[in-house]
Chain A
Amino acid sequence: MNTISKDKTAHSGSFSPPSEGLGEASFKSTRNACKLCAPLGASVAFKGIQGCVPIIHGGQGCATYIRRYLISHYKEPVDIASSNFSEEATIFGGGANCHAAITNVISQYEPEVVAITTTCLSETIGDDVKQYIQSYKELAGDKKLPHFVSASTPSYQGSHMDGFHEAVTSIVKSMAEAGETGEHINIFPGFVSPEDLRQIKTILEDFGIDYILLPDYSETLDNPIWDAYKRIPDGGTPIELVKECGSARASIEFGTIMNKGSLAGRVKNNTQSSSVGDYLFNTFGVENFRLPMPVGVGLNDHLFDILSKISGKEIPLKYKKERGRLIDSYVDGHKYIFGKRAVVYGEEDFVVGISAFLNEIGIEVTLAASGGESGHLEEEVKKYCPENTEAITARNDYDYEIIHEWCAENKPDILIGNSKAYYIARDLNIPIVRCGFPIHDRIGGQRIKHIGYAGTQELFDQITNTLIGAKQDNSEVGYKYM
């Protein structure tokens, strides 16, 4: 199947000459990567903890770049500290820098939680952050300290999604405790927008389900306007609450690929759980419901059935009506979109969710691509687009230039995904619907809805109208009714 992917991870001494065309067995370098590095994902997850200041343990550029990247999407202050490695730290170890960083973050921010994420640099020199935290605590003696969490996120393993899930799992691993099973559930939504998180909370509240949502950056990365500057924005999952993840009656997690990418191509296998839901099931026996990011009627029916089962309650009328209106709009729009050929790209679990949705409305997914490295994208996309498996090219390890070349050759009708493919859309005159992460060339990326019936409704309207708009713009007539 995926020759590019195989070739990229292969490490051989023989240099084959480069050849033309896609998927040939020659390493071309990654050209406009369709992925980011692991510490970025971990930083986002850590921003979803109440009172948390992330520290990136590595060179200064990492924190600055990641902040800049996130700020351009969320349009919010995103404070992430750096332990500012020098040459000395690189040679003798980053322990002193790590301690100094913790001390300075505490004195400047008075955080409830200090979350440390590693980098390629600190991992390669063999820094042991867990040990640094331990020794910091010992040195502090009786002094009251914040909670500490850490994630091991070398950027040469997997992508930003692997960093995200590693952070979530490590928070849970360090905090969750066994206990008598409570009424609450755990919900692990994966990398969705702040607006999506707000929707999840509303849905659970409407069902009357008590929940622990992790991470919850619905406020921290989408603040209202402030009267006075806040060093740490309000909101986030209280760290104390995470203790109770071990005694939840069930977990729900969105995403079927999660952090499998960090396990691919490893020199040494490690014993990492494949997901936080798995960990809680294996350790505390918490029942785990896993489904793709719920976009579309099918996947949301599945989600609402789970919630109904867990709560023992009927689906609230509000959502039955949302669902009814959504299907009504499917009928209104079906002819404009049927058989259109779409390219979907971005994080693997995002691509799976969106592909499943497109499949149910009659849009053909022709290319489903991700820079993620799990090796499972094809299997998952085809599983959720069962009628269309022959026509789908689903690829891990793709970058935007491969997508660009693919589009030039295959002329799809629409691109669906983040703003980074805008240059392809512009070059080939293909309409683009922006969703997912990042949205760097529009405002409101943090408020895009993707999940639930309501999120699907917005995506459906936008995709349909984009296709109608393209037809209208390209017609000589300039129809007033479409």
Chain B
Amino acid sequence: MNEILKERKGQVVTKGQGDVAIACGKASLAGSVSQRACVFCGSRVVLYPIADALHLIHGPVGCAAYTWDIRGSLSSGPQLHRLSFTTDLKEREVVFGGEPKLYKALISLIDQYNLKAAFVYGTCIVGVIGDDMEAVCRRVSKEKGIDVIPIMSEGFNGTKKDGYKLACDALGKLIGTDDKTEVPEHSINILGDFNLAGELWMLAEYYKRMGVNMVACMTGDGRIDDVRKAHNAKLNVVQCSGSMIYLAKDMKEKYGIPFMKVSYFGIEDMSDALYEVARFFKSDEMMQKVRDLVREEISKLLPELQAYREKLEGKKAAIYVGGAFKAISLVKALRLLGMKTVVVGSQTGNQEDYDLLKELCDEGTIIVDDSNPNELSEFVKQTGADLFIGGVKERPIAYKLGLGFCDHNHERKEALAGYEGMLNFAKEVHASVCSPVWKFMRK
């Protein structure tokens, strides 16, 4: 049997074996069990945390059912985003058109729920039967006096990344629609944080301590009114570059707002992020506050981490996550715990990300784009990894092979960002790698 499909060979690179560039950004091969989702998924997950908007999925039942409350994005107020709404198209609508059903669904939901705007997601079949979603949205918008934004996210029309872009375009339509609000001098937007397990709240606290005001977070704990005034910020701080970089570039072009890419994962990257922001505002006072903050947090954290490091020193990890930026942070964070990364890959990384990964990793590390269970299990076996970091689809692969697992996907329940997050991460890695249950597995 072939471990790696012939057409996929360019998407797997081992550091130290020839200097070839990895092929990425390719559509998945037919017949592979890819861990990727679709265009619809990309736009849905990016907009999902906006808690006071209606998210209506126009299509048959599946797309809505499988995305019902799947992420750990918390809201400090409304919880509307945790409900799953769908027009639940049937054969009749497929034959005669789904526009009347969409119209009725929108009107009744807007009347029933307290909401600030509506996003309507078109799925595969809507693109095929040719429903004029835009016309229906325009009409409802006019009748109900709220923004109803269509997102033509047919699943077949590209990859998950194209879905991110559509989500950014949708946000772009809202940004700039509130000009009355004044914001303080040191104001930023946080882009690409989804407030998983309350991570945004931790970050917002750090920024507050250094005297930075957050105008909008897109989209963690998101609110429509915040998005509307996001153009007033002086800087966009972008995490999870895969999903939000389009919006950052768009806002730079339209409003002249510069952006910087950061990661909040691991203490190095977390601290760098805060320093970078302080450097941007050219404020000595802010810089001093950051120094104090970092010193305080790290001196609290390091002694606690040390205990875990002693147990984890020399263990090997395999990483397969959605975005490559996250993978980069993970490699560094694992290093802090004394662990070595032997396999690293992502669903949607770009050339730049993979170059950075190659630079960062040790010789012999396998670097892979858009992998599948067969390959992943093979790599794990080859390298003798002790831990796998991935999402829910990778978990059973790891467990069946008898290695520890750390959930670093969007449904995680423990905050992993920031300084506290680093400690949670160490705890979770330790709880899995050092569990006594592995002794029953024949290695």
- A residues engaging B (CB < 8 A)? 8-9, 11-13, 15, 18, 26-33, 35-37, 39-40, 55, 58-69, 71-72, 75-87, 89-90, 97-98, 100-105, 107-110, 119-121, 124-125, 154-157, 159, 223, 225-229, 231, 265-267, 371, 401, 420, 423
The reply to whether A85 and B374 contact each other, CB–CB distance below 8 Å, is no
Within 8 A of A (CB), among B149-169: 154-159
Residues of B within 8 A of A62 (CB): 38, 62, 155
B123 CB, min distance to chain A CBs, angstroms: 8
* CB<8 Å pairs between A and B, sample of 8: A18-B111, A61-B155, A62-B38, A64-B393, A68-B66, A107-B2, A108-B31, A156-B125
Knowing A62-B155, A226-B400, the reply to whether A30 touches B33 (Cβ < 8 A) is no
- Which one of B100-108, B230-238, B313-321 is at the interface? B100-108
Contact of A155 among B29, B32, B61, B400 (CB under 8 A): B61
The reply to whether A59 and B155 contact each other, CB–CB distance below 8 Å, is yes
The reply to whether B156 and A90 contact each other, CB–CB distance below 8 Å, is yes
The reply to whether B108 and A18 contact each other, CB–CB distance below 8 Å, is yes
B88 at the interface (CB under 8 A from A): yes
Residues of A within 8 A of B105 (CB): 27-29
Knowing A13-B100, A37-B62, the reply to whether A156 touches B93 (Cβ < 8 A) is yes
B156 CB, min distance to chain A CBs, angstroms: 4
Knowing A79-B33, A108-B1, the reply to whether A27 touches B156 (Cβ < 8 A) is no
A183 CB, min distance to chain B CBs, angstroms: 37
Residues of A within 8 A of B111 (CB): 18
The reply to whether B397 and A36 contact each other, CB–CB distance below 8 Å, is no
The reply to whether B62 and A124 contact each other, CB–CB distance below 8 Å, is no
The reply to whether A267 and B38 contact each other, CB–CB distance below 8 Å, is no
B94 at the interface (CB under 8 A from A): yes
A406 CB, min distance to chain B CBs, angstroms: 16
Assembly CA distance A59 to B67 (angstroms): 16
- Which one of B14-22, B79-87, B204-212, B265-273 is at the interface? B79-87
The reply to whether B392 and A27 contact each other, CB–CB distance below 8 Å, is no
Assembly CA distance A64 to B35 (angstroms): 6
Name the residue on A nearest B82 (C-beta).
A423
Name the residue on A nearest B158 (C-beta).
A87
Kindly supply a per-residue 1/0 record for chain B positions 91-128, scoring 1 wherever the CB is within 8 Å of any chain A CB and 0 otherwise. Answer: 11111100011011101110110000000000111011
Known: A28-B105, A78-B396, A83-B31. 5 other contacts (CB 8 A): A75-B396, A98-B30, A120-B125, A229-B378, A423-B69
Residues of B within 8 A of A97 (CB): 30
A311 CB, min distance to chain B CBs, angstroms: 38
Knowing A9-B92, A104-B32, the reply to whether A121 touches B156 (Cβ < 8 A) is yes
The reply to whether B30 and A104 contact each other, CB–CB distance below 8 Å, is yes
Contact of A65 among B30, B37, B103 (CB under 8 A): B37
Knowing A60-B28, A84-B27, A226-B400, the reply to whether A36 touches B65 (Cβ < 8 A) is yes
Name the residue on B nearest A64 (C-beta).
B37
Assembly CA distance A482 to B238 (angstroms): 58
B4 CB, min distance to chain A CBs, angstroms: 9
Assembly CA distance A64 to B322 (angstroms): 13
The reply to whether B62 and A155 contact each other, CB–CB distance below 8 Å, is yes
Residues of B within 8 A of A28 (CB): 105, 108-109, 112
The reply to whether B1 and A110 contact each other, CB–CB distance below 8 Å, is yes
The reply to whether B374 and A108 contact each other, CB–CB distance below 8 Å, is yes
The reply to whether B124 and A157 contact each other, CB–CB distance below 8 Å, is no
The reply to whether A27 and B101 contact each other, CB–CB distance below 8 Å, is yes
Chain B, interface residues (CB within 8 Å), range: 35 or more
Residues of A within 8 A of B68 (CB): 32-33, 420
Knowing A33-B61, A55-B31, the reply to whether A225 touches B400 (Cβ < 8 A) is yes
Knowing A37-B62, A155-B60, the reply to whether A60 touches B125 (Cβ < 8 A) is no
B41 at the interface (CB under 8 A from A): yes
The reply to whether B129 and A29 contact each other, CB–CB distance below 8 Å, is no
B122 CB, min distance to chain A CBs, angstroms: 12
The reply to whether A100 and B29 contact each other, CB–CB distance below 8 Å, is yes
B63 at the interface (CB under 8 A from A): yes
The reply to whether A71 and B396 contact each other, CB–CB distance below 8 Å, is yes
B360 at the interface (CB under 8 A from A): no
Name the residue on B nearest A39 (C-beta).
B62
The reply to whether B5 and A104 contact each other, CB–CB distance below 8 Å, is yes
The reply to whether A108 and B32 contact each other, CB–CB distance below 8 Å, is yes
The reply to whether B100 and A29 contact each other, CB–CB distance below 8 Å, is no
Name the residue on A nearest B42 (C-beta).
A61
Knowing A15-B103, A108-B1, A157-B91, the reply to whether A227 touches B442 (Cβ < 8 A) is yes
B439 CB, min distance to chain A CBs, angstroms: 12
Max count, chain A CB within 10 A of own CB: residue among B36, B37, B95, B104: B104
Knowing A29-B86, A59-B38, A77-B397, the reply to whether A35 touches B112 (Cβ < 8 A) is no
A25 CB, min distance to chain B CBs, angstroms: 11
The reply to whether B62 and A226 contact each other, CB–CB distance below 8 Å, is no
B68 CB, min distance to chain A CBs, angstroms: 6
Residues of B within 8 A of A29 (CB): 56, 85-88, 105, 108-109
Contact of A30 among B34, B86, B155 (CB under 8 A): B86
The reply to whether B62 and A64 contact each other, CB–CB distance below 8 Å, is no
Knowing A36-B62, A267-B95, the reply to whether A81 touches B392 (Cβ < 8 A) is no
Assembly CA distance A86 to B30 (angstroms): 10
The reply to whether A64 and B1 contact each other, CB–CB distance below 8 Å, is no
Contact of A37 among B31, B65, B96, B378 (CB under 8 A): B65
B105 CB, min distance to chain A CBs, angstroms: 4
A253 CB, min distance to chain B CBs, angstroms: 25
Knowing A64-B41, A121-B124, the reply to whether A229 touches B401 (Cβ < 8 A) is yes
Residues of A within 8 A of B392 (CB): 68, 71-72
Within 8 A of A (CB), among B351-403: 373-374, 377-378, 381, 392-393, 395-397, 399-402
The reply to whether A84 and B1 contact each other, CB–CB distance below 8 Å, is no
